[in-house]
């Protein structure tokens, strides 16, 4: 039933590798010297309160963020490299689709950009139909995107990122505003994509219960990485029962050491 293209992911290969990664936006340093890796073929959750720099980090990885300092390698190439553009699927927080096109027309256009030419027409049609089925919108495929509900529109945006066969999917809060059933279905889809298509997923969320569904977690706060571990390891390290409790424990710890440093001065 499975049809793995590239075999099991090489545990030594990283999909993303950052060293001393810094991003400046205007007067603010949004990311301060981050070091982390994202393993291939796995789902990595990027968690943290809103405004902590999750979206900026994702934009840096897909190569749309300006003023990126330090080292950032994506699929073995510097982030933003031209050949990476059809190997990465990216979903922004706000759904970025054309409201005055139908779901199918939206996907057909983006598919034509990823895989142009008349010779690829049949492959494109398959990819478009598969992507619409993936996000469970086949019944609505001829509806205008502007007439869809918020959750449906964000799923169209997700479907665009699933076009082709991206090796890395960067999803910025893909489940925000979705009902529990849809959220469960989407997480099942993410696991399916990682398992059967060998893709790496980097999924951001500020809902901590979604953290339990990830293979690995990056916890962020105020532009820094608080923890880079598996959910189980995080829980046992902090002695907490949930990832949420573990996160709060780490935050308190960081605040306490910050205060200790200040008083020592």
Partner 1 sequence: MTTTTAPTAATTPTAPRALSVARTTATAGRVLRQLRHDPRTIALMLLVPCLMLVLLRYVFDGSPRTFDNIGASLLGIFPLITMFLVTSIATLRERTSGTLERLLAMPLGKGDLIAGYALAFGALAIIQSALATGLALWLLGLDVTGSPWLLLLVALLDALLGTALGLFVSAFAASEFQAVQFMPAVIFPQLLLCGLFTPRPDMHPALEAISDVLPMSYAVDAMNEVLRHTDVTTTFVRDVLIVAGCALLVLGLGAATLRRRTA
Concatenated DSSP letters of 73-93: EETTEETT-GGGTTTEEEE-S
Is there binding between residue 101 and partner 1 (CB under 8 A)? yes
Q: Which of 45, 48, 63, 231 binds partner 1 (CB under 8 A)?
A: 63
Binding-site string for partner 1 from residue 12 to residue 41, where x marks contact by CB under 8 A and - marks none: -------------xx---------------
What are the tokens at 207?
Answer: 């809902």
Of the pair 66, 256, the CB lying nearest partner 1 is at: 66
Is there binding between residue 116 and partner 1 (CB under 8 A)? yes
Q: Please, are residues 35 and 84 in contact by the beta-carbon 8 Å criterion?
A: no
Under rule CB under 8 A, which residues in 161-190 are in contact with partner 1? 164-165, 185-186, 188-189
What is the Cα 45 distance to its own chain's centre? Answer: 8
Q: Which of 71, 149, 196, 236 binds partner 1 (CB under 8 A)?
A: 196
Q: Measured between alpha carbons, how far is 123 from 12 in angstroms, rounded to an integer? A: 32
Pairing of strands 168-172, 88-91: parallel
* 134 closest CA partner among 165, 104, 155: 155
Is the four-CA dihedral 125, 126, 131, 137 of positive or negative sign? Answer: positive
Of the pair 93, 242, the CB lying nearest partner 1 is at: 93
Q: Measured between alpha carbons, how far is 227 from 160 in angstroms, rounded to an integer? A: 31
Q: Which of 17, 183, 197, 216 binds partner 1 (CB under 8 A)?
A: 197
Question: Which range, of 120-128, 212-220, 244-252, 255-263, touches partner 1 by CB under 8 A?
Answer: 120-128
Is there binding between residue 209 and partner 1 (CB under 8 A)? no
| DSSP 8-state class, residue 9 | P
Phi-psi region of 239 (alpha: psi -120 to 50; beta: other; left: phi over 0): left
Of the pair 177, 258, the CB lying nearest partner 1 is at: 177
| Footprint on this chain of partner 1 (rule: CB under 8 A) | 1-5, 25-26, 62-68, 80, 82-88, 90, 92, 94-101, 105, 109-110, 112-118, 123, 126-127, 130, 133-136, 144, 160, 164-165, 185-186, 188-189, 192-193, 196-198
């Amino acid at each position: 039933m499975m049809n793995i293209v590239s075999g099991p992911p090489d545990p030594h290969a990283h999909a993303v590798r950052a060293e001393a990664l810094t991003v400046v936006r205007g007067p603010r340093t949004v990311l301060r010297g981050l070091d982390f890796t994202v393993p291939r073929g796995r789902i990595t959750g990027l968690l943290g309160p809103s405004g902590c720099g999750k979206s900026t980090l994702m934009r840096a990885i897909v190569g749309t963020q300006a003023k990126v300092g330090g080292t950032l390698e994506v699929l073995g190439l510097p982030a933003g490299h031209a050949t990476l553009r059809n190997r990465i699927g990216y979903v922004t927080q706000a759904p970025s689709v054309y409201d005055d096109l139908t779901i199918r027309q939206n996907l057909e256009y983006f598919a034509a950009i990823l895989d142009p030419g008349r010779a690829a027409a049949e492959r494109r049609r398959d990819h478009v139909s598969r992507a619409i089925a993936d996000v469970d919108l086949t019944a609505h495929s001829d509806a205008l995107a502007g007439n869809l509900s918020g959750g449906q529109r964000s799923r169209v945006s997700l479907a665009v990122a699933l076009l082709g066969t991206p090796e890395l999917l960067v999803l910025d809060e893909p489940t925000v505003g979705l009902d529990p059933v849809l959220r469960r279905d989407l997480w099942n889809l993410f696991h399916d994509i990682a398992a059967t298509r060998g893709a790496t997923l980097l999924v951001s969320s500020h809902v901590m219960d979604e953290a339990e569904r990830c293979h690995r977690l990056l916890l962020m706060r105020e532009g820094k990485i608080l923890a880079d571990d598996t959910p189980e390891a995080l829980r046992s390290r902090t002695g907490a029962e949930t990832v949420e409790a573990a996160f709060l424990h780490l935050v308190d710890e960081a605040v306490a050491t910050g205060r200790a440093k200040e008083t020592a001065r």
